[in-house]
Amino acid sequence: MTTVAQAQPNIALIKYWGKRDHSKNLPAVSSLSVTLQSLWTRMSVDFLESDAPDTLLVNDAHAPAMLARVSHCLDLVAGPGRRSANVVSQSNFPIGAGLASSASAFAALVVAADRESGGSRDTLELARLAGASSGSAARSLYGGFVELTAGEDQIDVQTVCESSEWPLEVIVAITEEGPKPVGSGEAMIRGEGTSPFYSSWLERQDDDLNAAREAVLDRDFGKLAAVAEHNCLKMHSVMWSSKPPIVYWNNATLSCMETIRALQSERVPVFFTIDAGPQVKAVCLPEAADVVSSALEQTSGVINTMRSSLGPGARLMETA
């Protein structure tokens, strides 16, 4: 039997950066994200009647470097005594480049592996399992605007506003297609241990989260824009002030930020956010999506853009 599940990446508006517990992969801060619609990862899982090692194909190529994380996630879902698995992953966007491909991958993986191993966990249980592999993946189990609450021992995740209730658009400007130089897990450890800004990042996170949640519930775009940009720049300040520093941006990243500033000065409802990579994500009201998209396409250094509305959480596709 083979089970296929699909999940979309999510983009954090209030970021997760830093871990409370590394062994359980528990985040140090709560976060709020939007789940996308048109970027996707499909994961197929097939548990075999054999003792052969697990195999992993990512976009048609063997991916030995990622296999250990995938196998560990399968152990969490199906138990360490599980049968070996063939896992095949397909994404319609660049992976490992700061586009939250691990979020969509692990969200889809837990859904497929749970069904394939005969489980019937609910969405929160699956989100906690996905989060144990990639903190941001927990949010991709849910659609729309998603809040992840970081507790002492576990996370809670819920949709705070459905995508249909506030249909924002996201335009992703791709400025580099290669993999990022430092993975987010390693970068977080460095920030926790060396950035003088890390403690104030932790202290202020709940204020930002409360402001963002209120803005979403009030559909207040200006308020959401202000707090999301501020939160993003604070996260990058922790990265920049880590020793040695972690700078994911390139020249085109800055050019995109200038483009968005120029649009804002013309009262176009748009804001930026940037994750552990050089890509810029512009979040806007639907009526602004064409103008934002063409302004980013014309920005120096932008390789291409992708556009998405907000979408649903991870789900099963087929079992054959």
To ligand PMV, the closest distance from the beta carbon of 25 in angstroms equals 8
Residue 140 tokens, joined: 């991709």
104/255 with CB nearer ligand PMV: 104
To ligand PMV, the closest distance from the beta carbon of 49 in angstroms equals 33
3-state secondary structure the chain: CCEEEEECCEEEEECCCCEEECCCCEECCCEEEEEECCCCEEEEEEECCCCCCCEEEECCEECHHHHHHHHHHHHHHHCCCCCCEEEEEEECCCCCCCCCHHHHHHHHHHHHHHHHCCCCCCHHHHHHHHHHHCHHHHHHHCCCEEEEEECCCCEEEEEEECHHHCCCEEEEEECCCCCCCCCHHHHHHHHHHHCCCHHHHHHHHHHHHHHHHHHHHHCCHHHHHHHHHHHHHHHHHHHHCCCCCCCCCCHHHHHHHHHHHHHHHCCCCEEEECCCCCCEEEEECHHHHHHHHHHHHCCCCCCEEEEEEECCCCEEEEEC
Backbone angles phi, psi at 309, to 5 degrees: -85, -175
To ligand PMV, the closest distance from the beta carbon of 118 in angstroms equals 28
205/259 with CB nearer ligand PMV: 205
3/163 with CB nearer ligand PMV: 163
To ligand PMV, the closest distance from the beta carbon of 265 in angstroms equals 27
74/103 with CB nearer ligand PMV: 103
In angstroms, the CA 229 to CA 236 distance is: 11
Residue 120 tokens, joined: 């019937």
To ligand PMV, the closest distance from the beta carbon of 15 in angstroms equals 4
Residue positions counted in the chain: 320
To ligand PMV, the closest distance from the beta carbon of 131 in angstroms equals 8
To ligand PMV, the closest distance from the beta carbon of 8 in angstroms equals 13
103/171 with CB nearer ligand PMV: 103
Q: How far is CA 42 from CA 68, 115, 181, in A?
A: 19, 15, 25
Q: By CB under 6 A, name the binding residues for ligand PMV.
A: 12, 15-16, 31, 100, 102-103, 134-136, 184-185, 275-276
102/253 with CB nearer ligand PMV: 102
Q: How crowded is residue 193: how many other Cβ atoms within 10 Å of its Cβ?
A: 10
19/307 with CB nearer ligand PMV: 19
To ligand PMV, the closest distance from the beta carbon of 267 in angstroms equals 29
228/288 with CB nearer ligand PMV: 228
Contact by Cβ (8 Å): 302, 256: yes
